[in-house]
Amino acid sequence: MTSLGSTVPPNIASKIPPNTLQILDALDGLPGNLSQPCVTTLLAIATSPEFLKCVTPGAFLPILPIISDPNFFNSLKQNPKKLLDYIPQFDQFSDIICNAPKCSDGGVQNATNAITVGCKDDLSNKNAIADLIYFFVVFYSPVRDITCFKDKKEYCKDETAKVVINLPQSPLNITGNPLLDSVAVADPGSICTRCNKDIVNTLFNFLKNNKPALDLLAQAGIDQKHIDEMKIGVAVKCGINFE
C-alpha cells in the first residue's frame, strides 16, 4: 500500500505544479494508504492537460485542512453554525475555481471511469483518500456550478448558509432533523430565493439517472425515496414551478 504524495517519482514530480504536490502531500495525512494502481491512476488524472486547466490546484489549498479533517462532517452535524466559520476559506476556493474554465463532461466521465477501474480495491475497502477524490470527481459539475452562483456580489452558497443556519428553531418535530424542521416552517420569502432555486434545480437535474452519484448518496443513507421526498418538500414549500 502506498501514500499519494510521498511516492511520486522525481521525473514525474518535476512536471507537477507545486500546488498540486502540496495537495498530494496533505492528502497523505488522511487515514489509509492507496494501492499503487490507484496512485498511478490519480497521478495520470492530476497531470492531464485538461485537469491542470480546469481544476486549478491552488483553489484547494484554503479548504484542504477543512475537508481532509475526518471529523469535519460529524462536527457540522453536531453544530451546523460552525460552517459559517469556514465561509472565508470556501470563498477563496470559489474565487479561484470559478475563474477557471469548467471541465468538460467527457473529461469528468473519463476521470470517473479511470478511478472506478484504477482504484477499485481502494474504493471497495472504503479508503478515505480514494472516497474523497472519487466523490469530488463524480459531483464536480454541480459542485462547481453551485459554488460559482452569485446574487449580486455574494456567493449564493454563502447567502443560503447564513439564512438556513440562522433560522429560528422549529416548534414542531417534522423530520427528526432540527435544521430541516426549521426550513419546513420558515417563511417562504426567506427560503424560496433565486439562489436556492438555482441550487435546487442544478442538484436535482444532475441526479436524474446518474447512477454513480445516486449510488454515492445511497451509501450515505440518502436513497431515491429521500430524494423524492425532498422534491415534494420543495414543491410544497416554494411552489410547483420552483423546481
Per-residue pLDDT of 129-157, as tens digits, reads 889 889 999 999 999 999 999 998 899 99
Alpha-carbon torsion, ordered 20, 18, 87, 104, to 10 deg? -40
Q: Is 14 helix (H, G, I), strand (E, B) or coil?
A: coil
How would residue 33 be classed by pLDDT, with cut points 50, 70 and 90?
confident
CB neighbours of 23 closer than 8 A, spacing ≥ 6?
5, 57, 60, 61, 64
Condensed to tens digits (0 to 9), the pLDDT of residues 104-133 reads 999 999 999 999 999 999 999 988 888 988
Residue bearing cell 470563498: 91
Residue 95, all three cell numbers? 474565487
In the chain, where does DSSP find H-type helix?
A: 10-13, 18-27, 36-46, 49-54, 64-67, 72-78, 87-97, 105-118, 120-124, 128-138, 140-148, 156-165, 178-185, 188-191, 194-207, 211-219, 224-238
CB 146 within 8 A of CB 158: no
pLDDT tens digits, 216-230: 999 888 889 888 888
**pTM (predicted TM-score):** 0.80
Q: Are 196 and 233 in contact (CB under 8 A)?
A: no
Binned at pLDDT 50, 70 and 90, residue 17 comes out as low
Angle at 211 between CA 231 and CA 228, to 5 degrees: 15
Reported confidence tier of residue 91, pLDDT bands at 50, 70, 90: very high
Cell numbers for 29, please give them. 495525512
